[in-house]
């Protein structure tokens, strides 16, 4: 006769077996479906753990050099801590989305799956032809090291793999990341800016999403290397870190002039590393740079903005007469409102700096272009200051400036300014207009248009356009009406336009932005397609089946462009803008609760 305790034990075992089977079925049905955002993104990891999932143990291969033990020639002295106190209750950013019809959901999911398939094709080719290298060559089916030989595309794509639910590929990539040796470099000098936004940003975001400790360990190793870049007489960062000097702890030499975005785009990543590790040294390092820009923001020849080139060696962020939101300056401005959000509103400096630059660029850089159908859109140009001190608009824009529409709308929500949200929308629509105007449906890298005298009203005038284009030796007969040049006709797989379209969709809830995103995706995916992946296009102004292409695929194609397209067709709780701040490489950092 069996004992009662034995019976209870067998019954408990049976119940556990049944429960485990149900859990696994639940996991495979919901978690590992082809629609990974079917569950709210914020609960995916919890469900994964509770219903049969497990985090694979990945041993960390420590880098051959410990950057944290370097004795600095110029130590920082007293360090500034992260802002303390309860986070402010910041305004919500995202639109309150209502129920979605079955028909709308089917269309959205089908479009998102097309983006996912294209990403998978590119990833599989990278894995086959360029694994652990910086970039894939999509025409010759080979790889190339562009930076320091630390697998830029692999690290940059980590969070995209996670967001798209490609867990097996993510696990394999994490195992490869664990073996990266940040104690060695394929180059004698390390680019501080690119290493921060692509590598450090990629590691931190992937850790935020997956909680894989190996990623934070490698991020800390890399952060300690970047920190050595501040080992200078005045604690200003160098543009390039001399690898050998850095390892010896020797004081580094700050370059004479650098583009302002280089020192101005280290703040999000270094701050978030301090948030995750509890070590304020990273935040302290970038705070000194912020203080410099803040102190002199209104002393430049265009108060509120900083010149394109600055001298960190002389701590001069004032001298200079060229101002832009394009290449060389863009992300300096992008990070100001994003830092305010990442710090939970506890550092008012970023509030002040954000509002100040926004007022200046809105007044001086934004213009309404004269276009045949009189659309009410905005474009961001450049400003040059003459010898007479007068600010003159140069109506030249570039793809890189397209980030500003999303940033303006984001800041408008953070600071309670509906007018700025509206301005951001017109800027995003301006970039979308540039896409659909070109014969290929893709926007050129750099171009000119005719600025209207007034933003309120602007009627098309053929004579004015002919007169203005005649002043431009770069004008070509096949350019669309309204455009006077396409100075650089390439499309190099850039993300900035879809970035702003995505953000405006999440902020306004207007589905017209999803339609815009789909039109852009169809044009880009078709025009850049190769047999194995996607490649930069050399001229987007001329239509044709076989567009001239360049044998190169930047890591931001997978890290940013396809991620933003995917998110534009995802449920709004996947990487909610109320939960994350995205760095300039589209890496989402968890906002403080």
* C-alpha closest to that of 93 among 410, 407, 338: 410
Respond yes or no: is residue 269 known to be catalytic. Answer: no
Dist. CA 592–CA 84, nearest whole Å: 12
Q: Where are the alpha helices (DSSP H) in 27-101?
A: 41-50
Dist. CA 339–CA 268, nearest whole Å: 6
464: helix, strand or coil: helix
Tokens coding 20: 């485990």
The distance of Cα 12 from the centroid of its chain, to the nearest Å, equals 51
The answer to whether 472 touches 457, Cβ cutoff 8 Å, is no
> b/e string for 132-145 if b means 16 or more Cβ within 10 A?
bbbbbbbbebebeb
Phi, psi of 39 (to 5 degrees): -90, 155
Q: Which of 41, 269, 284, 330 is catalytic?
A: 330
Q: β-strands 379-380, 396-398: how paired?
A: unpaired
Respond yes or no: is residue 496 known to be catalytic. Answer: yes
The answer to whether 371 touches 430, Cβ cutoff 8 Å, is no
Alpha-carbon distance values, 283 to 83, 221, 227, 269, 510 (Å): 10, 16, 10, 9, 37
Q: β-strands 322-323, 309-310: how paired?
A: unpaired
220 in a labelled binding site: no
Q: Which of 445, 468, 554, 579 is catalytic?
A: 445
393: helix, strand or coil: strand
* C-alpha closest to that of 243 among 312, 315, 133, 147: 147
Dist. CA 203–CA 47, nearest whole Å: 23
Q: Which of 194, 208, 224, 396 is catalytic?
A: 194
Q: β-strands 382-385, 536-537: how paired?
A: unpaired
* C-alpha closest to that of 120 among 44, 56, 34, 38: 34
Annotation: binding site for Ca(2+): 584
Q: Catalytic positions, please?
A: 194, 330, 445, 496
């Amino acid at each position: 006769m069996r004992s009662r305790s034995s019976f209870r034990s067998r019954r408990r075992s049976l119940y556990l077996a049944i429960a485990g089977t149900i859990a696994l079925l639940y996991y495979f049905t919901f978690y590992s479906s082809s629609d990974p955002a079917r569950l709210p993104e914020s609960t995916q990891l919890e469900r994964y753990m509770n219903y049969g999932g497990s985090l694979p143990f990945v041993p960390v291969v420590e880098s051959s050099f410990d950057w944290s033990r370097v004795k600095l020639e110029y130590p920082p002295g007293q360090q500034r801590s992260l802002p303390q106190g309860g986070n402010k209750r910041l305004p919500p950013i995202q639109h309150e989305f209502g129920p979605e019809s079955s028909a709308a959901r089917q269309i959205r999911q089908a479009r998102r799956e097309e983006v996912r398939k294209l990403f998978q094709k590119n990833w599989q080719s990278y894995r086959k032809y360029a694994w652990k290298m910086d970039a894939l060559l999509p025409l010759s089916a080979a790889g190339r090291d562009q930076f320091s030989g630390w697998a830029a595309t692999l690290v940059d794509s980590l969070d995209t793999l996670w967001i798209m639910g490609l867990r097996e590929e993510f696990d394999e990539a994490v195992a490869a990341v664990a073996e990266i040796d940040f104690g060695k470099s394929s180059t004698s000098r390390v680019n501080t800016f690119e290493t921060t936004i692509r590598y450090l940003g990629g590691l931190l975001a992937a850790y935020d999403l997956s909680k894989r400790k190996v990623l934070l360990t490698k991020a800390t190793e890399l952060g300690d290397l970047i920190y050595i870049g501040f080992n200078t007489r005045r604690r200003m960062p160098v543009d390039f870190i001399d690898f050998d000097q850095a390892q010896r702890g020797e004081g580094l030499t700050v370059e004479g002039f650098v583009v302002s975005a280089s020192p101005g785009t280290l703040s999000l990543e270094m701050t978030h590393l301090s948030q995750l590790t509890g070590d304020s040294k990273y935040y302290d390092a970038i705070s000194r740079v912020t203080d410099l820009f803040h102190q002199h923001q209104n002393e430049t020849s265009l108060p509120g903005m900083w010149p394109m080139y600055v001298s960190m060696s002389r701590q001069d962020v004032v001298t200079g007469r060229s101002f832009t939101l394009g290449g060389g300056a863009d992300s300096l401005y992008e990070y100001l409102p994003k830092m305010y959000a990442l710090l939970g509103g506890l550092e008012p400096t970023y509030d002040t700096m954000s509002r100040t630059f926004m007022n200046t660029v809105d007044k001086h850089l934004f213009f309404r272009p004269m276009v045949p159908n009189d659309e009410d859109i905005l474009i961001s140009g450049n400003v040059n200051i003459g010898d007479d001190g007068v600010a003159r608009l140069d109506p030249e824009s570039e793809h890189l400036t397209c980030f500003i529409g999303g940033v303006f709308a984001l800041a408008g929500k953070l600071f309670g300014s509906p007018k700025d949200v509206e301005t951001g929308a017109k800027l995003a629509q301006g970039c979308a207009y540039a896409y659909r105007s070109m014969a290929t449906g893709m926007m050129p890298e750099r171009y000119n248009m005719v600025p209207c005298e007034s933003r309120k009203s602007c009627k098309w005038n053929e004579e004015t356009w002919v007169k203005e284009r005649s002043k431009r030796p770069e004008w070509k007969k096949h350019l669309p009406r309204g455009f006077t040049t396409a100075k650089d006709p390439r499309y190099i797989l850039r993300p900035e336009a879809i970035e702003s379209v995505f953000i405006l969709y999440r902020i306004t809830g207007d589905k017209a932005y999803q339609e815009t995103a789909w039109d852009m995706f169809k044009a880009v995916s078709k025009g850049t397609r190769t047999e194995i992946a996607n490649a930069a296009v050399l001229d987007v102004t001329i239509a044709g089946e076989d567009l001239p292409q360049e044998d190169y695929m930047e890591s931001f194609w997978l890290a940013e462009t396809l991620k933003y397209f995917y998110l534009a067709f995802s449920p709004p709780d996947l990487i909610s803008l109320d939960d994350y701040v995205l760095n300039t490489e589209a890496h989402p950092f968890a906002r403080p609760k």
